[in-house]
Structures are given as C-alpha cells and as structure tokens.
C-alpha cells in the first residue's frame, strides 16, 4: 500500500502513518468489521427507547439482547412472552437474527442503518450452505447441510462409498497403515484436489458433523504430499 506524505511529515525517521480503516482483503479486516458491528450493537442498548436489560457480544460473534415486556405496558405488542429476545449470529457481513419479537428486530434494523446499510430479507431458508427449517408446531429451528453433502459426494465420486460406524472398527487400522506409506511421485494436480477435499470436509466437521473429526484430523496429516491412495 502506497501513500503520499503530508506536508511537513516527510521524514520517515520521525513519523509513521497509522491506518484507521480496515481494507477489504487485509488479514485484520474481519476483526475490524467485527469490532465495529459489536460497538453498534452495544450502542443499541443506550439509544433504544425499550427496556433492554442486557446486550452481550462474545468472541464467537454471537450477540444477544433481552428486553423485559410487562403485561400492563407492552412495548412490543407482537411479543407474547415476558421477555423479548434477539440473538444476532454474525459471520463477516452475513448476519442471522433469531428472535421472538419482530418489532424488536425492526428496531434493531433501523438502528444499524444509521451507521451502515443492513437489509432484513425475511425468514431465512439458506445461509452459508446451511438449510434452515422451522417446525410450525414447536417453532423449533434446525439447521443441516444435507444438500451440500450430496453435492460433495457427487463431486468426489463417493456416492456409493461404504459406510463406517463411529468409533471406527479395528479394520480401519489397515487403512491408516496404508496411508503412512511414502509417496513416490509428487503430483501438483492431485495435491490441490486432495487439499480441496479435506477443506470441504473440515467445513462440515466444524459446523454440523463432529463425528468425522477423527477422519478429518487423520486426512489433514497428508496435505503436503498426498498420493493416489489418500485421494481414494
């Protein structure tokens, strides 16, 4: 990154420039955006006319706000509960809002739009390869990646692969031993394919399928020099 020195500050032995804005693509830009979004959420408590008692951001980019709703003075007429809740799950510039009060969510949207544009796109169906379903009877929300998994299985030719129970049976030891054999020929194309396969598996393991953690960990050991056996 290049810049022209301001007049009177040309001597780089005495002055340095401090960047006050996080540029998209820089390694610290997600952290900068997260800090900005969290600060806007915290100000929502101070600027809100509602009785919000708590607004807690945490390290996992999950922000929760609660408001007391008395029966004789309902500030949110659409909330049938004694407490109105909105939980914001933030992933860079993609945010999911879980709430039992649409009026509280609308108030939060108006507040955020003062600092930066934010659009409410209604009930979520898809977000970041996740399919969200809501039970009309219990109002419970569930998330899964079944369609994403089906695409991966088809892409890597694993639609007819054999299933293994977890924890893995003893016969898996023979497969593990075979993977430790040295690879004679280094193929760059195969390496990229293998790394892509492990990366997509890691995405599943982190979010929805913890039971493949051991298999992903084992596969990750051979990212530098995999062979045909590893890809198979």
pLDDT in tens, 52-101: 555 555 544 556 556 555 555 556 677 777 777 788 877 777 778 888 88
Q: Cβ–Cβ contacts within 10 Å for residue 218, how many?
A: 16
Residue 230 has pLDDT above 70, yes or no: yes
pLDDT in tens, 127-185: 777 888 888 787 787 888 888 888 888 888 888 877 777 667 676 777 778 778 877 77
Q: Would you kindly state where each structural domain of the chain is located, as residue ranges?
A: 29-139, 162-231
**Are the C-beta atoms of 26 and 43 separated by less than 8 Å?**
no
- Output the six-digit token pair for 228: 């045909």
pLDDT in tens, 187-216: 888 888 888 888 888 878 877 778 888 888
DSSP-derived secondary structure letter, 214: H
**Are the C-beta atoms of 151 and 158 separated by less than 8 Å?**
no
């Amino acid at each position: 990154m290049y810049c022209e020195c301001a007049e009177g500050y040309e001597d780089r032995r005495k002055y340095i420039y401090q960047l006050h804005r996080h540029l998209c693509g820089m390694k610290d830009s997600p952290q900068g955006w997260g800090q900005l979004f969290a600060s806007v959420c915290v100000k929502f408590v101070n600027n809100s006319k509602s009785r919000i008692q708590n607004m807690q951001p945490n390290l996992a980019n999950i922000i929760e706000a609660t408001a007391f709703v008395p029966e004789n003075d309902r500030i949110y007429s659409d909330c049938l509960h004694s407490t109105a809740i909105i939980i914001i799950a933030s992933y860079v510039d993609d945010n999911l809002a879980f709430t039992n009060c649409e009026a509280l969510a609308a108030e939060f949207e108006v507040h955020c739009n003062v600092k930066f544009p934010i659009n409410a796109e209604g009930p979520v169906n898809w977000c970041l390869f996740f399919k969200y379903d809501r039970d009309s009877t219990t109002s419970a929300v569930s998330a899964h990646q079944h369609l994403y998994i089906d695409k991966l299985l088809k892409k890597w030719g694993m639609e007819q692969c054999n299933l293994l129970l977890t924890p893995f049976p003893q016969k898996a030891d023979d497969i593990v031993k075979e993977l430790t054999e040295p690879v004679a020929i280094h193929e760059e194309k195969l390496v990229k394919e293998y790394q892509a396969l492990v990366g997509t598996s890691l995405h599943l393991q982190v979010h929805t399928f913890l039971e493949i953690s051991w298999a992903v960990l084992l596969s990750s050991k051979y990212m530098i020099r995999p062979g045909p056996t590893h890809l198979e």
